Amino acid sequence: SAVISQKPSRDICQRGTSLTIQCQVDSQVTMMFWYRQQPGQSLTLIATANQGSEATYESGFVIDKFPISRPNLTFSTLTVSNMSPEDSSIYLCSVGDGTWGYTFGSGTRLTVV
């Protein structure tokens, strides 16, 4: 299965700033998935990132807040924009087959102060 390198592993950010999270995969994959896990809760899919097209966002998530790039088949970024304390979560990328991811990155633990 694919190996994913996710950076940063954690960060503490000021309110109103933005953070970009990177995921690098060691093989070419069609679909990459971005998840959020708020404290004490399970994973929620933010969006599905396809190479060469706009990401598909789930209900409750918008591109202005969570812009995603997918420049090639091995790399994607998720930006958390204009952050507030409510954005404090673990963010994970994932790759898999066409409908869900089953290999996960190590996660980015974000704290907004």
Residue 20, phi then psi, degrees to nearest 5:
-105, 125
Write the DSSP symbol of residue 85: G
Q: Output 84 or 100, the one with its CB closest to other proteins.
A: 100
Footprint of other proteins on 6-25 (CB under 8 A) = 9
Tell the smallest beta-carbon distance from residue 34 to other proteins (Å): 13
Q: Output 72 or 100, the one with its CB closest to other proteins.
A: 100
Q: Output 1 or 14, the one with its CB closest to other proteins.
A: 1
Q: By rule CB under 8 A, what count of residues binds other proteins?
A: 22
85-88: Cβ within 8 A, 24+ apart: 85/15, 85/112, 85/113, 86/112, 87/112, 88/38, 88/39, 88/112
Token digits of residue 19: 């953070």
Footprint of other proteins on 33-52 (CB under 8 A) = 37, 41-45
Footprint of other proteins on 60-89 (CB under 8 A) = none
Task: Establish if 5 lies at the interface with other proteins (CB under 8 A).
Answer: no
Judged by DSSP in three states, 86 sits in helix
Task: Establish if 109 lies at the interface with other proteins (CB under 8 A).
Answer: yes
Q: How far apart are CA 19 and CA 72, in angstroms?
A: 21
Positions touching other proteins (CB under 8 A) are 1, 9, 37, 41-45, 90, 92, 94, 98-100, 102-109
